Amino acid sequence: MTTYVALLDGGRREATVQVTQQGPGLYEVRIGDRVHVVDAFKHDYGTLSLIVDTQSYTATLDERGAKVHVRVNDSVFPLEILDERKLRMRRASARFTIAGKQTVTSPMPGRIVKVLVRPGDDVRQGQGLVVVEAMKMENEMKSPKDGKVVEVHVQEGQTVEGNAKLCAVE
């Protein structure tokens, strides 16, 4: 059995997930006090066919580092799965603060839907700065720290490449 912690809603909620492989592609998944039997088949990169108990699902995974956006039907569930070691490291690193100017970049090519700040604005860690539409999804880029917006490199309607500078907070 392997135990993971799923961080949901941007890390505001946690769920303990225990996974025991019963056979090839067959798993027992315990989430809290609920147990599910999951039959999983991987079609290609990022696409899974799942039978969870008696319900059939197709899930598409959009992996972004440690974070994953899971699309099931028309719903998207952003989550992060951490094993116990990674969770301990995350909690330990949360005690450190980010110093100096931090540049916020676009995670992938897209279009700027909304610029939420201007140079000189005071912002809090986690506050939305810029909304980027990519792959028919809107992604709110958030401030990595408390501080002041010192640069805004984009405007609404502009298209950007992946890793393009959006703004900076100091």
Tell me the CATH number at 70. Answer: 3.30.700.30
158 and 80 co-located in one domain: no
Nearest to residue 130, comparing CAs of 166, 157, 163?
A: 166
pLDDT mean over 39-49 = 87
Query: Rounded distance, CA 170 to CA 146, Å?
Result: 8
How confident is residue 88, by pLDDT bands cut at 50, 70 and 90? confident
Confidence of residue 94 (pLDDT cuts 50, 70, 90): low
For 39, the domain range is: 2-91
Q: What is the CATH number of the domain that holds 106?
A: 2.40.50.100
Does 18 share its domain with 85?
A: yes
> In angstroms, how far is the first alpha carbon of the chain from the final one?
44
Q: How many CB atoms lie within 10 A of CB 30?
A: 15
Helix (H) or strand (E) holding 135, with range, is none
Domain end (from 91, 126, 155): 91
pLDDT of residue 120: 95
Q: Which of 8, 30, 5 is CA-nearest to residue 19?
A: 30
Write down the pLDDT at residue 17.
87
